[in-house]
Structure 1
């Protein structure tokens, strides 16, 4: 094929592809532009194929580096290798490589009045936990999220505690990294915090040696289900045993310190030795609940954990308070909490 003719064809298609590509990058989707870009991309590919056939000998020399110095012979493999790495990086969404696309996508969305939000999740696998049902809990952090501690547990339909499915290690051990300040430095130490997760603690119903329901001096029932407190969005994978034909409840209690509001201030309970004394308090712990019906014990089901109440502000009792008018910003610690229950697949 005439090289001049082929060159002009390729030049015109590249020009159209460049203009249509720029329009597609800066302006929201239009079918006419996308169609134009697609048709000329096909023509460009056909032209490139003819170009390769028409110039296979000189192109082969370029690739092989014939008659080139020693180091210039590695030019083609180096370029091909860098191209491959870039393609893999973009496909694997490595940090920074998709920044150009993300910026253009954000620009187009703003023109349409749309917004996109992406979330990264910390995945917590409790491999030692046994049971015939997989339990997955996904928590998406809200605007007020500040590393709350939490407990996840199972109850029967009457509200009787059955077992803990996950618990923040600081609660299961009562040991905090910033437990005591010696001079200018903080040291790990045991800190008793009955106000931390009081509803879970009283439902569990095991008193420690000092009379509090928060664990102390080891808790064998919690060893396999305790872990670090997540610092953002998280997904917990754990297990439990559910009997077919029975109803259950899964609850999550969370709490974070010093999130005061107009109803729960530093002076709200001046006669309470925990709230106005040793406690690291604020708004009380929040309890979320999902009711698991009989049908959930045999198939994969999804549930939304709903806010049902809050615990005692200083952990004095195991009462669940359901009037939520005085709870304000704490409601925004979690944006949503989704529970998935699925029976374990057995090998045949």
Structure 2
């Protein structure tokens, strides 16, 4: 009997150990307002490779409300790896402003300091939580909007993810496209105060050249861009 008890205790300890390891691998970000009303769970997909992304809120008419999270490199126009030409990164920090990276949100949010749409080294975007791109699945906690209904959106982009449609010579004159490859993919969901769980679905892609804030609803040409995250789930606390 004593052996059985020791055996079961050992099993429980092993389970707890693996549980702790799993939790340590899931990064948890807290918004600047320390809110925990909304928990947004991002599950890493098989095409995940250091994407740039942004989370923001809109009203039901599509008007911009506020940004919750933006990857720091895009907000500061300063990437961990300096871009040299169209296909090479250096192992050093460097300035790199990418108009096509998050074109839909960039135009939605409006001008920064009444000077520029795209964040730059001199005109950084500071009205949101910014952080390094997570290396895997993560959770972002935020405060919910005071509105009864609103939309939560996510725009994601990954550099140089070419495919058969979005080839590296599609727009040879456009340097922004050469850095972006497949355009950004946008996910969205309508949030209300009655339900507790929501899943974001793709609603379109951004301008591949970064020249407009247009939402292109045909995403049939996107391939690996759809696999950067396998799931984006929102949990509301009652």
> Aligning the two structures, in what range does the TM-score lie when normalised by the shorter sequence?
0.7 to 0.9
For each residue in 1:235-263, what CA deviation from the matched residue of structure 2 results, as whole angstroms up to 9, or x when unmatched? 111224323xx320000111111110011
- 1:283 corresponds in structure 2 to 182
RMSD after superposition:
3.0
- 2:58 corresponds in structure 1 to 155
TM (normalized to structure 1)?
0.59
- 1:202 corresponds in structure 2 to 107
SS state of the match for residue 93, structure 1? helix
Going from structure 1 to structure 2, the CA distance change for 1:216 and 1:157 (only over 3 Å counts) comes to farther
SS state of the match for residue 226, structure 1? strand
TM (normalized to structure 2)?
0.84
**Shift of the alpha carbon at 1:200?**
1.1
Runs of 4+ in 1 over 4 A off after TM superposition: 82-89, 118-121, 207-210
For each residue in 1:249-307, what CA deviation from the matched residue of structure 2 results, as whole angstroms up to 9, or x when unmatched? 0001111111100111110012324224xxx22111100001113xx1xx561101000
Asked which structure has the greater RCO (Cα within 8 Å, sep 6+), the reply is 2
Confirm or deny that 1:219 pairs with 2:125: yes
Structure 1 residue runs of 5 or longer lacking an equivalent are 1-44, 49-81, 96-117, 344-348
SS state of the match for residue 193, structure 1? coil
For each residue in 1:205-258, what CA deviation from the matched residue of structure 2 results, as whole angstroms up to 9, or x when unmatched? 124687443354333313xx1111111111111224323xx3200001111111
Residues paired across the two proteins, number: 229
Structure 2 residue runs of 5 or longer lacking an equivalent are none
What does 1:1-348 correspond to in 2, within 5 Å?
Answer: 45=1, 89-94=13-18, 121-126=25-30, 128-130=32-34, 134-179=37-82, 186-207=91-112, 211-217=116-122, 218-222=124-128, 225-243=129-147, 246-276=148-178, 280-293=179-192, 296=193, 301-343=196-238
Q: Answer 1 or 2: which has greater helix percent.
A: 1
For each residue in 1:292-347, what CA deviation from the matched residue of structure 2 results, as whole angstroms up to 9, or x when unmatched? 13xx1xx561101000000011211100100111111211111111111225xxxx
Answer with 1 or 2: which has the greater Rg: 1
